[in-house]
Amino acid sequence: MQTIVLTTQKGGAGKTTLAISLALAAIRAGHNVRLIDTDTQGSVSNWRRRRTCAAPIVEPIYAARQVEQRLQSLSREGVTMTIVDTAAGITAATVSAIRYADFCLIPTRPSLVDIEATAATLSVVRAWRKPFAYVLNQTPIRAAARLAGAENSLGDEAALDIDDILARPSIVMRNDHQDALSVGLAVCEYAPGGKSAEEIRALWQWIDARMGNEATATDEPIIEELVETPAVLPAMAALPRIETDSALFLRAPARN
């Protein structure tokens, strides 16, 4: 079983929307998927109550000590892909989820302020040495032109290859994402022929390949035209490490 954790310090980045959308994309790619909701706001759980389809099962887990235990149980039960939606900020449950993740996805809006706000999350991910990538979410179609000068504010600090830390494609801000959630659907069910569903399928294939999985026969081709990447992206590679709390980040979750 593989576990993907969607996490970021800042609220409103679209973790829940992406977690649900990716879960449905994974199901359609042949995975036995479980969605775990560690956010006490319960957005994923509320979405599940509006849903008439049996899959995916959503499990609310708010205690850090239960995360490892449940992941081990799910693996024994034959679940092949677990997707974890986390709360904003750095909670004990989030740290525990990151600790046992196979891949961490950090959603962020395409602005310098939002990217800089991911620094604390990135520090936890790095402390546990987990593979990760950013995904630009809620992206205006012409974001590149709007943010063209942002890169200059960071100088030449961006040392990492952006292709290694940026998931493709960006997810453009469209109403069908929220319209789908309001009726208990994912966007690939609500508007399967739309651009949003196409982007989600492509994002899933990018993540699946990054995790070392072979494409299944049911996968659709990755879209060829990607949303233009804002010049702000090198900011991701330049985010500072936060060392002062590393001992907390590395502390094992409490056990019963």
pLDDT in tens, 47-100: 999 999 889 999 999 999 999 899 999 989 999 999 999 999 899 999 999 999
More confident residue, 122 or 147: 122
Q: Which single residue is written with the structure tokens 């081709």?
A: 221
Spatial separation of the C-alpha atoms in residues 88 and 85, rounded to whole Å: 10
**Partners of residue 3 on adjacent β-strands:** 82
Q: Would you kindly state where each structural domain of the chain is located, as residue ranges?
A: 2-250
Q: Which single residue is written with the structure tokens 């850090």?
A: 64
- What is the tens place of the pLDDT at every residue in 205-253? 999 999 988 654 344 433 333 344 455 555 655 665 544 344 444 554 4
CA distances from 92 to 60, 242, 246, 250, 253 (A): 15, 17, 13, 11, 7
Provide CATH code, domain 2-250.
3.40.50.300
CA distances from 87 to 94, 183, 223 (A): 7, 22, 31
- pLDDT greater than 60 at residue 29: yes
Spatial separation of the C-alpha atoms in residues 103 and 2, rounded to whole Å: 8
> Measuring CA to CA, which residue among 94, 101, 100, 82 is closest to residue 38?
94
